[in-house]
Amino acid sequence: MRTTMTLDDDVVDLIEEATRRERRSMKEVVNDALRRALRAEQTRPYRVDVHFSQLRPGIDTERLNELADDEDDSETIARVIA
């Protein structure tokens, strides 16, 4: 399909730079760039639901790394989560 568009000067510069760098035609560069941009909009951002939990009494959140260094990690995890 043929169409006429007016492009901003900075966009034209980017297209020309890409055509030289990639040694491809302007048509190929523009079509590939549009495909990538339009497909990116269709993907949903990755989202993680927040899970609130409490540590056992006596666990100082400021010193968790120190606690993990002092003991085996599996033992630390079992004690903190249990």
Distance CA 65, CA 74 (A): 13
How much is the pLDDT for 23? 96
What pLDDT, on a 0 to 100 scale, did the predictor assign at position 70?
Answer: 67
What integer pLDDT is reported at residue 76 of this predicted model?
A: 64
Q: Which residues of the chain are modeled with pLDDT < 50?
A: none
Q: What is the pLDDT of residue 7?
A: 94
pLDDT of res. 9: 96
CA torsion angle for 76, 80, 81, 82 (degrees, to 10)? 100
Distance (Å) of CA 53 to CA 11, 58, 77, 82: 49, 15, 14, 12
Task: Tell how far CA 24 is from the center of its chain.
Answer: 28
pLDDT of residue 78: 74
pTM value is 0.49
Where are the chain's structural domains? 9-42, 48-82
Give residue 67's pLDDT.
67
CB 29 within 8 A of CB 15: yes
